[in-house]
Structure 1
Amino acid sequence: MAVSLKDVAQAAGVSIKTVSNVVNDYPFVSDATRSRVQTVISQMGYRPNLSARRLRKGRSGLIALSLPEIAAPYFAELADEVVAAAEPRGITVLIDKTGGQRGHEQVAASGIRDNLVDGTIASPLAMTAADVDTLGRIHPLVLLGERLALVTVDHVAIDSVSAARAATKHLIDIGRRVVAVIGTGEDISKTGRLRLHGYEEALADAGLPQDPTLHGDARWFHRPDGYAAMNELLRTRPDIDGVFCFNDLLAIGALRALREAGRQVPDDVAVVGFDDVEECMYTAPPLTSVSPDKRAVAETAVDLLIQRMDGTGPTQPREVFPPYRLVVRESTAG
């Protein structure tokens, strides 16, 4: 049978109210009493009744982090940071993989089943702005990423235009003049369009031509897509001496294609990625990458969501751009 508050109180020789105060971490309990009660709780294996607590407080203590995929290193690292940001705030994070499917994203953004969670941090691929506006009125919601803009919920994003411009400028500054880009295509995402815009701005600033033959199409932002796009670029534009990839997985695939083609990095072709996942330090050569402050993204998103859950945020939605930096490694520095 489940251990109750009453059982713990009897074993510890205190009142049920005192046990409740310890469980809920209320301050007005002496250190000695708190220690005794916590010891009994551990010994008896007491677990709080979350359903009852939710009825009393109107809260579950749970939030959802809705991501299109978990295997991608960027999302895995971001999830780790969100969990780390939520834990000291007394919040548990449920991670929901949507596969970029609109229906799954809508379920997560509406509180999952039976409003299981108190709020959701979502990085959507398929939801529309109308979806977000509707769901944000019935459930606390914070968006991540650049795929949707001008929505009526709080939004945490990287300034992809500025970051892509900085990445491309770095390639130009080290003397590259035939700079390709990988991540374009007919189905280019909002994020991809912003990064393409930053790339084009850097070319324009340097007086270099806009050349569509330097665009490497990639349907997805995974390693095989970067590998295939780099091989095609090498076939059609063998004069390439630099390449900016819209994420690190594309860049890692590009590095493999360059190595197989006998092109030295960075002597023949310099490569820059985006996201600065841990794998960048262990590629051959280590990959230069735009490094978003993932910790700041996570902490900002969690704080904004808590304010929406508490009803303490401003009426107008907020758009926050945490900082980024360019981490230069051997794929451009030699």
Structure 2
Amino acid sequence: MAATMHDVSRLAGVSIKTVSNVINDYPYVRDETRRRVLEAIEQLGYTPNLSARSLRSGRTNVISLMIPDLRNAYFAELADSVMRAAAERGLSVLIEQFGDQRDREIDVLRQPRSQMVDGVLYSVLALDQSDVDIIAGIATPVVLLGERIFNGPRDHVTMQNVEGARAATEHILGLGRRRIAALGAHPGEVIGSAALRLDGYRAALDAAGLPYDEDLIVPVGSWHRRNGAEGMRELLARGTEFDAVVAFNDAIALGALRVLQEAGLRVPEDVAVIGFDDIDETQYSMPTLSTIDPGREEIARTAIDLLLRRIEGAGEPFTPEEILVPFRLVARESTTVG
């Protein structure tokens, strides 16, 4: 039988109230007491499950949004979209960051606090198709975001990465540019945003009858401004000829934009640049940045609605849904000459 809170309290030698305080991250608990309770929870494999408790106490009307990094503007703006969509439905949002480390991501998923909310929106980063058992084992209703797990055991809402990157590349091709750098690749990646957007870039080249040139593929690490700047400096140092850049997100596009201007290159006259994500900053850069709006608001609304459906039908069998929201190309000054 599954361990109970009574079992935890007996093993830790504390009251049930103290166990509850630790699970809810109550601040006024002695460190030694907290340690004993957490060790008992781990030893017993105890997992608080609000779905069962709600029969007595009702829902919390709180959900959790698990994302990699709020320093990434896309995730910060996604969090804002989720919070506004949740508020419209009477929900509050607890935000959890897990960075780019697999162990930390799994810890955040499994921590007791993640089981004390009505449901979880989880933007997968380090896990992949081989980890579906971990996802399936979460007791709380979950909706997946991101591009790491498809056709898994949970509902999944994401963007059209391949189609969006293809549209961005076709937009550049329509300007007459033929030496188009792809900024933001992750060599060896098969599933993930970088791999999917590279697929879209290649598809556009193929359709235009242009060869795929490895010299024009620029790998970067994390998708932050500094990485885009470093990638562009590397490309310029190689002496590779190019007349346009398809950046796999807006942050690296903005970093690249600064380096191009420092090098005396005009955007878009010498080099056209387009990003992906339509973060707010793209409207105020010099020049303003063309980009792909991936439907962030729609992702947030759809994910919240799906999660509420699973919360209200907790315990009932269901067939997971896979939803890709529409995108929109936003042409601005960085690809418009004249």
For the aligned pair, the TM-score class normalised by the smaller chain equals: 0.7 to 0.9
* Deviations 1:153-197, CA, capped at 9 Å, x for gaps: 110111111000000000000110100101113354611010000
Q: Hey, what does 1:4 align to over in structure 2? A: none
| Residue identity (%) | 45
SS in 1 for 2:292: strand
* Deviations 1:76-135, CA, capped at 9 Å, x for gaps: 111111111111212110000111333433344347427221111011212243544444
| Residue identity in the other structure for 2:232 | M
Shift of 1:258: 0.3
Q: Hey, what does 2:101 align to over in structure 1? A: 101
Q: Is the 8 A contact 2:142 2:307 kept in 1?
A: yes
State yes or no: 1:118 paired with 2:100.
no
Q: Is the 8 A contact 1:65 1:122 kept in 2?
A: yes
User: TM-score of the superposition, structure 2-length normalised?
Assistant: 0.79
Shift of 1:320: 0.5
User: Equivalents in 1 of 2:54, 2:180: separation in Å?
Assistant: 56
User: Equivalents in 2 of 1:206, 1:251: separation in Å?
Assistant: 23
User: Equivalents in 1 of 2:167, 2:92: separation in Å?
Assistant: 37
User: Equivalents in 2 of 1:208, 1:235: separation in Å?
Assistant: 24
Match of 1:319 among 314, 322, 327: 322
For residues 127 and 115 of structure 1, do their structure 2 counterparts lie closer, same or farther at Cα, with a shift above 3 Å needed? same
Q: Is the 8 A contact 2:153 2:320 kept in 1?
A: yes
Q: Hey, what does 1:30 align to over in structure 2? A: none
User: Equivalents in 2 of 1:270, 1:283: separation in Å?
Assistant: 14
Which residues of structure 1 form unaligned runs of 5+? 1-52
Q: Hey, what does 1:164 align to over in structure 2? A: 165
SS in 2 for 1:64: strand
Q: Hey, what does 1:60 align to over in structure 2? A: 60
User: Higher mean Cα deviation, 309-318 or 236-245?
Assistant: 309-318
| Residue identity in the other structure for 2:70 | I
Q: Hey, what does 1:74 align to over in structure 2? A: 74
SS in 2 for 1:209: coil
For residues 198 and 144 of structure 1, do their structure 2 counterparts lie closer, same or farther at Cα, with a shift above 3 Å needed? same
Q: Hey, what does 1:233 align to over in structure 2? A: 235
Q: Hey, what does 2:40 align to over in structure 1? A: none
| Residue identity in the other structure for 1:226 | G
SS in 2 for 1:275: coil
User: Equivalents in 2 of 1:212, 1:258: separation in Å?
Assistant: 21
| Residue identity in the other structure for 2:173 | I
SS in 2 for 1:274: coil
Q: Is the 8 A contact 2:124 2:147 kept in 1?
A: no
User: Equivalents in 1 of 2:293, 2:317: separation in Å?
Assistant: 30
Q: How many pairs were matched up?
A: 283
Q: Is the 8 A contact 1:111 1:119 kept in 2?
A: no
Shift of 1:217: 1.0
User: Equivalents in 1 of 2:157, 2:180: separation in Å?
Assistant: 30
User: Equivalents in 1 of 2:112, 2:147: separation in Å?
Assistant: 23
Q: Is the 8 A contact 1:223 1:249 kept in 2?
A: yes
Q: Hey, what does 1:195 align to over in structure 2? A: 197
For residues 290 and 218 of structure 1, do their structure 2 counterparts lie closer, same or farther at Cα, with a shift above 3 Å needed? same
- Counterparts of 1:264-275 in structure 2, within 5 Å, are 264-275=266-277
User: Higher mean Cα deviation, 242-251 or 81-90?
Assistant: 81-90
User: Equivalents in 2 of 1:324, 1:158: separation in Å?
Assistant: 7
| Residue identity in the other structure for 1:68 | P
Q: Is the 8 A contact 1:74 1:277 kept in 2?
A: yes
Q: Hey, what does 2:22 align to over in structure 1? A: none
CA RMSD of aligned residues (A): 2.1
SS in 1 for 2:194: helix
| Residue identity in the other structure for 1:109 | L
SS in 1 for 2:124: coil
User: Equivalents in 2 of 1:274, 1:190: separation in Å?
Assistant: 14
Shift of 1:66: 0.3
SS in 2 for 1:143: strand
Q: Is the 8 A contact 1:132 1:153 kept in 2?
A: no
User: Higher mean Cα deviation, 56-65 or 192-201?
Assistant: 56-65
SS in 1 for 2:275: strand
Q: Hey, what does 1:127 align to over in structure 2? A: 127
Shift of 1:314: 6.8
Larger Rg: 1
Shift of 1:232: 1.5
Q: Hey, what does 2:184 align to over in structure 1? A: 183
For residues 191 and 105 of structure 1, do their structure 2 counterparts lie closer, same or farther at Cα, with a shift above 3 Å needed? same
For residues 112 and 67 of structure 1, do their structure 2 counterparts lie closer, same or farther at Cα, with a shift above 3 Å needed? farther
User: Equivalents in 1 of 2:91, 2:186: separation in Å?
Assistant: 40
User: Equivalents in 2 of 1:91, 1:111: separation in Å?
Assistant: 21
User: TM-score of the superposition, structure 1-length normalised?
Assistant: 0.80
- Counterparts of 1:11-30 in structure 2, within 5 Å, are none
